[in-house]
Amino acid sequence: MAGIVVGAAVAIVAALLATPLLIRLAKANGVGQPIHDAVTQHDAKAGTPTMGGAVIPLAALAGYGVARAFLGSAPTADGVRVLATTLAAAVVGGIDDWRKVRSGRNVGGLTRKGKTALQTPLILAFCVAYVASGSCTSISVTRCAVGIEVGPVGWVIFAACFLWATTNAVNFTDGLEGLLAGSGAVTLAALLAIALWQFRHPGGYEVPNALDLAIIASCLAAACLGFLWWNGNPMTIFMGDVGSLAIGTAVATLSLSMGVSLLVVVLGALYVIEGVSVGLQISTWKVYFKPRGTTHRLFKMAPLHHHFELTGWSESTVLVRFWILNAIAAALAVAIFYLDALSLR
C-alpha cells in the first residue's frame, strides 16, 4: 500500500507542476491546437496550447520510479511492459499532434493507416513479450481460470486487436476539456482496485506482479487528475493524442496483464460507445446514406459527444453526464469482479 500512495503522490504533484511549464513552453513556440472545420462550436479554442497530455505518462513514470525506490525493489517484467508500451504509444500520439500543429489543420496529422502502421509494432511487441513470459493466455472477464484458453497464437491475435481497438476508442473520447482526463482517472482507479485485490488475495489469480500493476494504475490515475487541474474549464491546454493514446494503451495493457480484458467492455463503456459511434457514422454513410445521394448522417457528428453538443447540450452538460456514465460503468465493473471473487472463498 505504501508504494501505491507514494507513487500516486509523486505523480499528481509532478503533473500539477509540469503542466503549467508545458503551457508556457507551448505558447512561446506557437504550439497551438488547430480546430476541425466541422467543430465550429469550438472555434474560440483555436490556438490553445496542445500536447499537454505528454505530462501524464511522464509523471506516472516518475511516480513509479520513486515508488519502486521507496520499496527498495526492481521493476517487474509486467510493469516494464505496460509502461514501455504506454510511453511508445505517447510517442506515436506526439508525432500525430506535431504534424497537426505544423500543418495548421486538425486533419493534417497521421492518417488512420499511418497511425495504425506506427501502433502495430509496439502492440505486437507487447503481445509477444507477454506470451514469451509464460503468462496466462486465456481470454477472460475476471480471472484466467474461468476464461477461454486460446493458446499463445490465439491470444496474440486477440490481444493485438483488443489493444488497437481500446486505444483508438479512448482516443475518440478526447474531444471536450476534461472529458478524457476525468474519465481516465476513474477507469484507472477501478483497475487499481482490482489489481490491489489480486495482490491481497493471490489464490485463484495468475497475476504474480499485481502490486506492480496497482502502482502503475495509481500513478496514471493520479497523473490524470494532476493534468485535469489545468485541462478543465476554462481550458488552458489540450491533451492531444500524445495523452489520449497513452491512456488508452495503459488501460488496455493493464487489463490484459491482469486477466480482465473482457471486463473493459463494461469498465470502459464510455469509450466503447464513443468508438462505436464513429464506426456506425462511417459505415452507415458508406452503405446507406451516400448511395442514396443524401447529406444526412446517422449522428449530427461523431464521436457521440459532438452529436449531443449539436443537439443543444452545453459542453458542461455533456461533460458531467458522460462522467456520470463512466463512473457508473466503473462501479459496475468492479462489482462484477468482486462478485466473482466471492466464489473463491
Residues 240 and 31 sit within 8 Å (Cβ to Cβ):
no
CB-neighbour burial class of residue 106 (10 A; exposed 0-12, middle 13-18, buried 19+): middle
What is the SS3 assignment for 70? helix
pLDDT band at 234 (very low <50, low <70, confident <90, very high): low
> Three-state SS for 266?
helix
Instruction: For residues 155 and 128, give the distance between their C-alpha atoms in angstroms, rounded to a whole number.
Output: 9
Confidence (pLDDT) at 106: 63
Tell me what the mean pLDDT of segment 55-80 comes to. Answer: 95
**What burial class does residue 298 get, using C-beta atoms within 10 Å of its C-beta: 0-12 exposed, 13-18 middle, 19+ buried?**
middle
Rounded Cα–Cα distance for residues 106 and 37 (Å)? 8
pLDDT per residue as tens digits for the range 269-322: 999 999 999 989 988 888 888 787 787 888 888 888 888 888 888 888 999 999
What's the rounded Cα separation, in Å, for the pair 141 and 341?
Answer: 12
Residue 139 reports pLDDT greater than 80: yes
Nearest to 190 by CA among 337, 90, 65: 337
pLDDT of residue 2 exceeding 50: yes
- Could you give the CA distance from residue 84 to residue 100 in angstroms, rounded to a whole number? 25
Per DSSP, the three-state class of 294 is coil
Q: Which three cell numbers stand for residue 170?
A: 479512448
Does residue 97 register a pLDDT over 60?
yes
| Per-residue pLDDT band at 176 (split at 50, 70, 90) | confident
What's at 162, amino acid-wise?
Answer: F
Distances (CA, A) of 336 to 42, 187, 343: 38, 15, 12
Residue 67 has pLDDT above 60, yes or no: yes
Average pLDDT (259-268) is 94
pLDDT at 343 (0 to 100): 81
Give the C-alpha separation, 227 to 239, whole Å: 9
Whole-number Å distance between alpha carbons of 109 and 99: 5
pTM of the full predicted structure? Answer: 0.92
How many helices and strands (H and E) does the chain possess? Answer: 12, 2
Q: Checking phi first, is residue 59 left (phi over 0); if not, alpha (psi -120 to 50) or beta?
A: alpha
